[in-house]
Amino acid sequence: MKKILLFLLMGCMLAACSEKPSGPYVVAHRGYWKTDGSAQNSISSLLNAGRIGAYGSEFDVNLTADGQLVVNHDFTYHGLEIAATDFATLHDPSLTLANGELIPTLDEYFEASLAYPDMKLVYELKSKGEPEYEALALPATVEAINRHGVASRIEFISFSLSACVEFAKLMPDNVVEYLGGEIAPAELHEMGITGIDYEYPVFYEHPEWIEEAHKLGMVVNTWTVNQEEDIRKLLELGVDQITTNEPELAAKLIEEFKAAKKK
């Protein structure tokens, strides 16, 4: 009898060890950059997100004129339009991020992410919706994802509806979240899109969209939620992911939220 109990106990302990923390989850917006020596969308911000155990690190990707995918939020970098500029020009040593890093290539970013292989990579394709641009950027995205073996870690987000629809076709096993905020989940679901990632005031106006999305098996993410009051409110509303510039605060509030639910 004692042996059986011991066996059962060991089984439970093993299960507890292998179990991943359940959601809601924290996504570090543009990585975790609000720390010494870091910068938005830098390799450092990605590694910081991994170090604090964030569920995911969000980052923004643009395509250069000569076909290089680079990590940067704006369509411009130091005043240069990325889509109209060759990579070598953008990668000039005089042009740096706030922490001194050069603009990261997507390849460098994926390579660095291997240090934290359990962390999701929340990939935002920056696009103005131009078909010629997306016809290049989407296949290049999929090629890079597969070449680095990170497909299982990618959650794709974009303000471009056409990019979301296309990515969902190219990588049907991956979560794809539309960012725009103006379309009801059921309509997106019909297009093959599997998640919504809306600016948080949208959910104050349309709290019913969260349940609607969940009933369709869609993921609900929200951005960019930095204030304690809003984080608490969105957790109560039932979102799955909180995208934030304050990932440590959000993690603490999620733990408190989960503990309160258990009582």
Q: Give the footprint of Mg ion on this chain (CB under 5 A).
A: 60, 124
CB of 4 to Mg ion, least distance (A): 52
**Nearer of residues 182 and 208 to Mg ion, judged by Cβ:** 182
What is the C-alpha end-to-end distance of the chain, expressed in Å?
Answer: 32
Residue with smallest beta-carbon separation from Mg ion: 124
Nearest approach, Cβ of 29 to Mg ion (angstroms)?
7
Which two tokens mark 253? 């509030």
| Closest distance to Mg ion from the beta carbon of 40 (Å) | 9
| CB of 87 or CB of 159, closer to Mg ion | 159
CA nearest neighbour of 130 among 107, 172, 158, 91:
158
Q: Which residues contact 24 (CB under 8 A, 6 or more apart)?
A: 235, 239, 240, 241, 242, 254, 257
Taking a C-beta distance cutoff of 8 angstroms, is the pair 113, 150 a contact? yes
In terms of DSSP bridges, do strands 80-81 and 241-244 run parallel, antiparallel, or are they unpaired? unpaired
CB of 206 to Mg ion, least distance (A): 21
Least distance to Mg ion from the beta carbon of 124, Å? 4
Structure tokens at 37: 């020596």
**Which amino acid type is present at position 218?**
M
Cα 7 to Cα 13, 20, 67, distances in angstroms: 10, 22, 57
Nearer to Mg ion, 124 or 240 (CB): 124
Residue number, 71 or 231, with CB nearest to Mg ion: 71
